[in-house]
Amino acid sequence: MRLDKFLCDCNLGTRSQIKKDIKAGLVTVNAHAVRRPEQHIDEKADKVYYKGQFCSYEPYVYYMLHKPAGIVSATEDQHDQTVLDLFGEDRRNDLFPVGRLDKDTEGLLLITNDGVLAHELLSPSKHVEKEYECHLEKPFDEKQKVLLEQGVDIGEKSLTKPAVVRILEDNKITLTITEGKFHQVKRMLHTVGNEVTYLKRIRMGTLTLDSELPRGSYRRLTEEEKERLGENK
C-alpha cells in the first residue's frame, strides 16, 4: 500500500496535507525517515510513525452517517450526489453504505468496508430491526396500528412481517420492521389508507442515530457501538 494512502486510511489528515508532511520528513518507516508519499509499505508488518505517533492500520472502519434528503445511497452515481461524496475525495476507496435509504429519506446509514457485517445486517434470515420516524398526511388511528402489527398486503408474495408501531402524535409514529422491501414503509402506510410525508430512519439493529449528529455529517462508531454491532456476525 502507498504510504500516503496508509496514513489517510488511519484518519490522520487529508491526502494533500499528509503528502506535505511526508516530504517534510515527519514520517518514519522502520525507524528510517521517508520523504516519498508514493513509497509502498507492508501495512501489517512495517512500523510507521507520523509526527512521533505510532500508526496502527485499521482493516475495517465503521461510520454513522446522518443522511440528508436529496442524496442517493450508492458508491457512485452519474447524476446525483452520493452518500460517499459527503466523505470527500480523501476517503478510503473501499467504503460502501450498508443497505440503502430512498433519495428523499433521511436518517441513519452505516458506512463501512466490512462486507461480513453488512451481509449479516442485511440478510433476511437475521430479521434485523429497522426503526423509522414517519410523519403522515392524515391522523393515525388504532385500526391502522392493528393492521400494521398484523402484517399487510403490499403486493408481494406474502404479507409483510408484523411491525411494531408507536404513536407519537396524531400524524406522527415510529414504525419498526424487519424486512427491507422496496419503498416498504411508504407502501405499508399507503395500504392502510395513509401517506408518508416525511421519513427518517432512527435505528438499525443495535445502532441508534446520534441525536446530536447534524444532517450530512458523520462520525466513527464508538467502541461500544462496534462491539454491539459485532454481535450480528
Non-local CB neighbours of 146 within 8 Å, separated by 6+ positions: none
Which residue out of 46, 94, 102, 210 is catalytically annotated? 102
CA–CA dist 29, 43 (Å, integer): 10
Instruction: Report the C-alpha dihedral over residues 35, 38, 62, 88, rounded to 10 degrees.
Output: 100
Specify the DSSP class assigned to residue 40.
Answer: B
The Cα angle at residue 11 between residues 130 and 26, in degrees rounded to 5:
175
Q: Do you know the residue count of the chain?
A: 233
The answer to whether the CB of 226 falls within 8 A of the CB of 219 is no
Residue 102 annotated to the active site: yes
The answer to whether the CB of 175 falls within 8 A of the CB of 165 is yes
CA–CA dist 224, 233 (Å, integer): 15
Catalytic sites, residue numbers: 102
